[in-house]
């Protein structure tokens, strides 16, 4: 963490060559009674205005924890950020005071969650909940906040918005609830929207509607989006770039097309091969043997080596560094070239 005092200046334009959001070498551990779990082990990714970055990983890979660190909503304890920077418009969020971070939250970077039913308050009408942000943060009057809430509900295409303002979350269907949450996140016109598994709890036809809505909003409002998901299918449709996470590290980072065409990390390759495809009929599914590691006892060297078909002695001994493969692609594998060539055949 940098110790230099950062001026609490208001949002400044992106410095030339800098990124809108830049996570650098982030380390987070969870200190629990059973021991220390190293949940994030040097994650770096960046986001430029207007683009969509997908963060892909299985449960426990650290994709949501990274997002929570960006938002500043990690529970400390047990979570402790031990190293790294989160630069937003060139300024390290981690060195800011809680009040300064509150100003960023919602107004600059907003987040939507997987489970809209538990993210919304069941005892207040949705209109009130959307308006709350506006009253608290913008000092709007109740009447103005109401009007703006209707506009926002229209924006996320909730039919008969004015009529539904007084309804409670349980009166909405799953897809409509997710729309309410998106409306809340958009209330303060954020520049970055973090969507944490936004469609996982939804049916496939509704999922398509919500992904369309997010893509439209991102374009119309010129937001940048971080899409956190475990679904390789959802990612293929909307993302520009993908960061694949495993055991708290980014193992592969590439633009969507190159990654799907020729994955350069054995884990990504295994994932792509192990999903049943609607458009491809095959024999038995390829599997990744074994289980994801216990984060309290991460294997030595490359954390994926016990499950990896490419593993050699070097993988047990040495942590692989990000290998740059051109076109801005990286893969944290000792045999990245070989894996990519195998995939491309």
Interacting residue with another protein among 20, 149, 165, 176 (CB under 8 A): 176
Q: Are 191 and 20 in contact (CB under 8 A)?
A: yes
97 binds another protein (CB under 8 A): no
The DSSP element (H or E) to which 330 belongs, if any, is: strand 329-331
Minimum CB separation of residue 206 from another protein in Å reads: 7
345 binds another protein (CB under 8 A): no
174 binds another protein (CB under 8 A): yes
Interacting residue with another protein among 42, 72, 90, 292 (CB under 8 A): 292
Between helix 174-186 and helix 204-220 the angle, nearest 10°, is: 20
| Closest CA relative to residue 151, chosen from 135, 175, 127, 174 | 127
Restricted to residues 227-266, the positions that interact with another protein (CB under 8 A) are 230-237, 256-257, 260
286 binds another protein (CB under 8 A): yes
123 binds another protein (CB under 8 A): no
Q: Are 156 and 182 in contact (CB under 8 A)?
A: yes
CB atoms within 10 A of CB 258: 19
- The mark string for 263-282 relative to another protein (x by CB under 8 A, - otherwise) is -------xxx-xxxxxx-xx
Residue number, 21 or 295, with CB nearest to another protein: 295
| Closest CA relative to residue 114, chosen from 42, 198, 32 | 198
- Report CA Rg, the chain: 21
Stretch that binds another protein, among 12-20, 70-78, 133-141, 199-207 (CB under 8 A): 199-207
In this structure, what token pair is assigned to residue 288? 């990744």
291 binds another protein (CB under 8 A): yes
Cα separation, 86 vs 24, whole angstroms = 6
Place of tokens 């942000």: 133
Beta strand residue intervals within the chain, DSSP E: 21-32, 35-47, 52-56, 79-88, 91-92, 109-112, 192-196, 224-229, 241-246, 249-255, 323-326, 329-331
Cα separation, 185 vs 267, whole angstroms = 33
Residue number, 13 or 282, with CB nearest to another protein: 282
35 binds another protein (CB under 8 A): no
Interacting residue with another protein among 3, 7, 9, 59 (CB under 8 A): 59
Residue number, 31 or 277, with CB nearest to another protein: 277
Cα separation, 309 vs 274, whole angstroms = 14
Residue number, 81 or 215, with CB nearest to another protein: 215
Residue number, 89 or 229, with CB nearest to another protein: 229
Interacting residue with another protein among 1, 73, 285, 316 (CB under 8 A): 285
The length of the chain, given as a count of residues: 345
Cα separation, 279 vs 282, whole angstroms = 10
Stretch that binds another protein, among 28-36, 171-179, 325-333, 335-343 (CB under 8 A): 171-179
Residue number, 94 or 126, with CB nearest to another protein: 126
Cα separation, 196 vs 70, whole angstroms = 12
Residues that bind another protein (CB under 8 A): 58-59, 173-176, 203-209, 211-212, 230-237, 256-257, 260, 270-272, 274-279, 281-282, 284-288, 291-292
């Amino acid at each position: 963490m940098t110790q230099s005092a950062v001026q609490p200046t208001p949002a400044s334009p992106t410095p030339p060559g800098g990124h809108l959001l830049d996570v650098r070498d982030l380390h987070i551990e969870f200190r629990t009674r059973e021991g220390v779990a190293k949940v994030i082990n040097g994650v770096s990714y960046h986001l430029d205005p207007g683009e969509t970055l997908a963060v892909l990983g299985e449960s426990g890979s650290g994709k949501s924890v990274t997002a929570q660190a960006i938002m500043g909503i990690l529970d400390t304890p047990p979570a402790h950020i031990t190293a790294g920077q989160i630069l937003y418009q060139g300024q390290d969020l981690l060195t800011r005071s809680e009040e300064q971070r509150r100003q960023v939250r919602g107004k600059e970077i907003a987040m939507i969650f997987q489970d809209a039913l538990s993210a919304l308050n069941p005892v207040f009408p949705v209109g009130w909940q959307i308006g709350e942000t506006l009253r608290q943060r913008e000092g709007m009057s109740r009447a103005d906040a109401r009007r703006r809430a209707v506009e926002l509900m229209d924006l996320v295409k909730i039919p008969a918005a004015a009529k539904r303002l007084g309804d409670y979350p349980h009166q909405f269907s799953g897809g409509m609830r997710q729309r309410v949450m998106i409306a809340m996140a958009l209330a303060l016109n954020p520049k970055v929207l973090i969507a944490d598994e936004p469609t996982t709890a939804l049916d496939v036809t509704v999922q398509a509607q919500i992904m369309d809505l997010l893509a439209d909003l991102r374009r119309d409002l010129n937001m940048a989006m971080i899409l956190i998901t475990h679904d390789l299918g959802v990612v293929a449709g909307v993302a520009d770039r993908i960061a694949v996470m495993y055991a708290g590290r980014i193992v592969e980072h590439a633009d969507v097309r190159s990654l799907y065409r020729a994955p350069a990390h054995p884990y990504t390759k295994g994932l792509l091969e192990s999903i049943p495809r609607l458009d491809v009929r095959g024999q038995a599914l390829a599997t990744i043997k074994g289980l994801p590691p216990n984060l309290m006892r991460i294997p030595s060297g490359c954390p994926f080596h016990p499950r990896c078909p490419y593993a050699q002695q070097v993988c047990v001994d040495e942590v692989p560094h990000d290998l740059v493969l051109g076109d801005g692609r990286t893969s944290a594998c000792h045999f990245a070239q070989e894996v990519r060539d195998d995939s491309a055949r």
